[in-house]
Amino acid sequence: MSELVAVSLEDGIAVITVQNPPVNALGPGVPKALLDAVAAAERDAAVQALVIIGGGKTFIAGADINELLAAAKNPESGGPDIHPLLARVEDCFKPVVMAIHGTALGGGLELAMAGHYRVAVADALLGAPESNLGIIPGAEGTQRLPRLVGVANAVDLCVSGHLVKAGEAKDLGLIDRVVEGDLLTAACAFAREIADAPVSKTRHRNGGLNNVEANETAFAAGREQARKIRPHQTAPLHAIDAIEAATKLPFEEGCKREREIAKLCLASPQAQAMIHVFFAERGVSKVPGLAKDAPTYPIRTVGIIGAGTMGGGIAMACVNAGLSVLLKDTSQEALDRGIATITKNYNRSVQRGRTPQAVMDQRMAMIHAQLSYDGFEDADLIIEAAFESMEVKKALFTDIEKIAKPDCVLATNTSTLDIDAIAAMTSRPGMVVGLHFFSPANVMRLVEIVRGKETSQKTLATAVAVAKTLKKIGVVVGNAYGFVGNRMMFAYMREAQFLVEEGALPEQVDKALTDFGMAMGIFAVDDLGGIDLLYRVRQETKHLDKPGVRKPVVHDRLYESGRWGQKRNAGWYKYDDKLKPSPDPFVRELVEKTSTELGFSRRAISNEEIIERCFYAMVNEGAKILDEGLAYRAADIDVIYTTGYGFPTWRGGPMWFGDAVGLQKVYARICAFEKQFGPDLWAPAPLLKRLAENGSTFAARDEKDPK
Ligand code: NAD
Q: What's at 584, amino acid-wise?
A: D
**Domain ends where: 242, 267, 292?**
267
Which atom belonging to ligand 1 lies closest to the Cα atom of 338? 9
Q: How far is the CA of 309 from the centre of ligand 1 (A)?
A: 7
Query: What are the φ/ψ torsions at residue 670 (nearest 5 degrees)?
Result: -65, -40
In a domain, 286, yes or no: no
490 and 474 in a single domain? The answer is: no
Q: What pLDDT is attached to residue 539? A: 86
Q: Which residues are paired to 164 by β-bridges?
A: 126
Q: Is 385 in the pocket of ligand 1 (CB under 6 A)?
A: yes
Q: How far apart are CA 148 and CA 112, in angstroms?
A: 11
Distance CA 197, CA 31 (A): 27
pLDDT tens digit sequence for 209-254: 999 999 999 999 999 999 999 999 999 999 999 999 999 999 999 9
Longest dimension (CA), the chain: 92
464 within 8 A of 456, measured Cβ to Cβ: no
Is residue 620 within 8 A of residue 684, CB to CB? The reply is: yes
Distance from the alpha carbon of residue 305 to the mean position of ligand 1, in angstroms: 8
- Which domain CATH number covers 23? 3.90.226.10
Task: Assess whether 473 and 495 both reside in one domain.
Answer: no
706 pLDDT band, cuts 50/70/90, is low
Q: What is residue 42's predicted lDDT score, i.e. its pLDDT?
A: 97
305 CB within 6 A, ligand 1: yes
Residue 707 clears pLDDT 90, i.e. is over it: no
Residue 110 known to be catalytic: yes
SS3 410: strand
In this prediction, residue 296 carries a pLDDT of: 98
Residues 566 and 664 in one domain: yes
The domain boundary, picked from 267, 284, 313, lies at 267
Print burial letters for 102-136: b (CB count within 10 Å at least 16), e (below 16): bbbbbbbbbbbbbbbbbbbbeebbbbbbbbbbbbb
In a domain, 376, yes or no: yes
pLDDT value at position 545?
A: 87
Average pLDDT over residues 275-291: 94
203, 252: one domain: yes
Among residues 52, 73, 58, 61, which one has the least CA distance to residue 119? 52
Question: DSSP secondary structure string, 360-393?
Answer: HHHHHHTEEEESS-TTGGG-SEEEE---S-HHHH
Instruction: Report H helices in 230-302.
Output: 235-248, 251-266, 269-283
- Strands, DSSP E only, in 376-526? 381-384, 409-412, 432-437, 446-451, 473-478
Residue to mutate, 332, 413, 422, 537, ligand 1, most ligand atoms under 8 Å from C-beta: 413
Cα 468 to ligand 1 centroid, rounded to whole Å: 23
CA-to-CA distance for 503 and 499, rounded, in angstroms?
6
CATH at 642: 1.10.1040.50
What CA–CA distance (Å, rounded) separates 554 from 551?
A: 10
The CA distance from 208 to 152, in Å, is 10
Query: Closest residue (by CA) to atom 9 of ligand 1?
Result: 308
Please compute Rg for the chain using Cα positions: 28
- pLDDT per residue over 363-418, tens digit each? 999 999 999 999 999 999 999 999 988 999 999 999 999 999 999 999 999 998 99
Evaluate whether residue 295 is within a structural domain. Answer: no
Is residue 19 a part of any domain in this protein? yes
Q: Is 385 helix (H, G, I), strand (E, B) or coil?
A: coil
Distance CA 591, CA 568 (A): 19
Ligand 1 mean position to 383 CA, how many Å?
A: 11
Residue 98 sits at φ, ψ, to 5 deg, of -95, 125
Mutate to test the pocket of ligand 1, among 415, 531, 566 (most ligand atoms within 8 A of CB): 415
Tell me the backbone φ, ψ of residue 58, rounded to 5 degrees: -160, 160
What is the position in ligand 1's atom list of the atom closest to the CA of 310?
26
Q: Where is the domain boundary, 425, 458, 479?
A: 479
65-73 and 269-283 helices, crossing angle to 10°: 140
- Contacts for 193-198: CB closer than 8 Å, 24+ residues apart: 194/49, 194/95, 194/97, 194/116, 194/117, 195/12, 195/13, 195/48, 195/49, 195/94, 195/95, 196/48, 197/95
Give the range among 20-29, 315-324, 682-691 with minimum mean pLDDT: 20-29
pLDDT reported for residue 55: 97
Q: How far apart are CA 21 and CA 548, in angstroms?
A: 61
User: Given pLDDT bands bounded at 50, 70 and 90, which one contains residue 76?
Assistant: confident
In the predicted structure, residue 443 carries a pLDDT above the cut 70: yes
**537 confidence band (pLDDT: 50, 70, 90):** confident
Is 177 a residue whose pLDDT tops 80? yes
In angstroms, the CA 628 to CA 626 distance is 5
Q: Please report the pLDDT score of residue 66 as a whole number.
A: 84
Q: Is 412 in the pocket of ligand 1 (CB under 6 A)?
A: no
**In terms of DSSP bridges, do strands 49-54 and 13-18 run parallel, antiparallel, or are they unpaired?**
parallel
At 618 the pLDDT is 98
- Domain encompassing residue 510: 486-704
Indicate if 609 belongs to the active site: no
Q: Is 29 left (phi over 0), alpha (psi -120 to 50) or beta?
A: left
- Structural domain contains residue 150: yes
Q: Quick one: CA dihedral 24, 29, 32, 33, positive or negative?
A: negative
- 310 touches ligand 1 (CB under 6 Å): yes
Residue 425 CB partners (closer than 8 Å, separation 6+): 394, 397, 398, 401
- Same domain for 236 and 377, yes or no, is no
Asked whether residue 124 is domain-assigned, the answer is yes
> Is the residue at 71 inside a domain?
yes
Same domain, 81 and 191: yes
Give the residue from 371, 158, 115 showing the smallest Cα distance to 244.
158
Cα 677 to chain centroid distance, Å, stands at 36
Between the CA of 625 and the centroid of ligand 1 the distance, in Å, is 26
Answer whether 355 contacts ligand 1 (Cβ < 6 A): no
- Per-residue pLDDT of 485-508, as tens digits, reads 999 999 999 999 999 999 999 999
Is residue 14 within a helix (H) or strand (E), and if so which, with residue range?
strand 13-18
Report the domain count for the chain.
Answer: 3
Decide if pLDDT at 556 tops 80: yes
Pinpoint the alpha helices (H) of 366-484: 390-403, 419-423, 457-469
For 115, phi and psi rounded to 5 degrees? -70, 170
**Strand residues in 558-621 grouped as ranges (E):** 573-575, 581-583
Distance CA 26, CA 28 (A): 7
Residue 437 pairs with which residues in a beta bridge? 447
CB 478 within 8 A of CB 445: no
Ligand 1 mean position, distance from CA 482 (Å) = 16
Question: Do residue 462 and residue 490 come from a single domain?
Answer: no
Within this chain, do residues 34 and 140 fall inside the same structural domain, yes or no?
yes
Task: Judge if the beta carbon of residue 440 lies within 6 A of ligand 1.
Answer: no
Spatial separation of the C-alpha atoms in residues 593 and 208, rounded to whole Å: 64
Query: CA-to-CA distance for 26 and 110, rounded, in angstroms?
Result: 11
Contact at 8 Å (CB) between 343 and 264? no
Considering the domain architecture, whether residues 133 and 23 belong to the same structural domain is answered as yes
Q: What CATH number does residue 321 fall under?
A: 3.40.50.720
Determine if ligand 1 sits within 6 Å of the CB of residue 329.
yes
pLDDT tens for 457-485 read 999 999 999 999 999 999 999 999 999 99
CB of 225 within 6 A of ligand 1: the answer is no
Contacts of 399 (CB under 8 A, 6+ apart): 373
The answer on 527 and 494 residing in a single domain is yes
Axis-axis angle for helices 235-248, 251-266 (nearest 10) = 170
CA of 337 to the centre of ligand 1 (A): 13
Choose the catalytic residue: 3, 10, 90, 130. 130
Same domain, 608 and 631: yes
Q: Is the CB of 314 under 6 A from ligand 1?
A: no
Answer yes or no: is pLDDT of 1 > 60.
no
Residues 247 and 131 in one domain: yes
pLDDT class of 79 with cuts at 50, 70, 90? confident
> Over the stretch 104-161, which tens digit does the pLDDT of each residue have?
999 999 999 999 999 999 999 999 999 999 999 999 999 999 999 999 999 999 999 9
Question: Which of 698, 705, 681, 706 has its CA nearest to residue 623?
Answer: 698
Over the stretch 305-325, which tens digit does the pLDDT of each residue have? Answer: 999 999 999 999 999 999 999
Q: Which of 110, 244, 388, 609 is catalytic?
A: 110
Q: What is the pTM of this model?
A: 0.94
Please give the distance, rounded to the nearest whole angstrom, from the Cα atom of residue 344 to the centre of ligand 1: 19
Is the CB of residue 309 below 6 angstroms from any atom belonging to ligand 1? yes
Euclidean distance between CA atoms 208 and 146, whole angstroms = 8
422: in domain? yes
